[in-house]
Amino acid sequence: MNIGAHVSIAGGVYNAPINAHRAGCECFQMFTRSPQGGSAPILDPGTVSSFHANMKQYKQAAVYIHTPYYINLASATDRIRLNSIRIIREELERGTLLGAKALMTHLGSSAGVGQDLAVEKVIEGIKKIVEGYKGTTRFLLEIAAGSGNIIGDTFEEIGQIIKAVPEYDLGVCFDTCHAFASGYDLRTKKAIGVTLKAFEKAIGLDRLVLIHANDAKFEIGTHKDRHEHIGYGHIGREGFRILLHHPQLRAVDFILETPPSEKKEINDIMMLKKLRT
């Protein structure tokens, strides 16, 4: 188990391992392109070589990539849906070049489509993304908070999508804030046991590759995706301590996505490390 955070690639993707080291990360997450839009920076051989060298020099155990925010595999607009498919596949290939362990994505919204058709579109999109993919970066679906018409806010829906794509070993990114907002309790040992049993039944814990460690600004079941610093939200320090010591999560890395604040983010990393001991 390694602990890290989402870090900046300002100045070049090869700066990410340096930024991660400065924050006290053992692993980290990054975007390889602007999350808001635009073309992706070219990963030329020199850039890739510098990235790998910095991963080694700054002792980062793993790197994870997050897709841009505008991804929507369920969109009623073909341009948005097909562009989402293209970008995710590109990011998987870029991740392979960089040696990324996994790439995670949000699935999108069923607005204007309807839930059943939206799920069908997501499944169709994922099948197109992984068709012929031979790379080493694993593709993860991220648990959603369930606000609005968002796809993937229940274990059963994520499980349904995964089972519909048996030709590829899809994994899951478990965001603690999103799961809590969707009604999965993470505050006590008993509650976490119930939640992980539900995950095992619907998806399988062997598919849980990464945990986004975020406290929750709002109470359980509110479907509000608002991350909070560790110990300042409704999950609380004890919930994270139990997760960090759970025997079924020993091989799972924890990545922080708490609100932007360099000092507080570093404190969050230190807090998780302390809770892990």
CA 64 – CA 254 distance, rounded (Å):
11
Structure tokens at 129: 């993304």
Confidence at residue 262, expressed as pLDDT on a 0 to 100 scale:
63
Residue 266: the pLDDT is 83
Total number of domains constituting the chain: 1
pLDDT at residue number 215: 97
- Residue 108 phi/psi, 5-degree rounding, is 120, -170
pLDDT tens readout for residues 106-155: 998 877 778 889 999 999 999 999 999 999 999 999 999 877 788 999 99
Structure token pair of residue 170 = 């899809």
Q: Summarize the confidence of residues 164-182 as an average pLDDT.
A: 96
Burial class of 30 by CB neighbour count within 10 A (0 to 12, 13 to 18, 19+): buried
What is the domain-level CATH number for residue 170?
A: 3.20.20.150
Q: What sign for the dihedral angle of Cα 30, 106, 198, 232?
A: positive
| Residue positions counted in the chain | 277
Q: What pairing do the DSSP bridges indicate for beta strands 215-216 and 227-228? A: antiparallel
Average pLDDT over every residue of 90-116: 92
Structural domain for 49, as ranges:
3-276
Residue 12 has pLDDT above 90, yes or no: yes
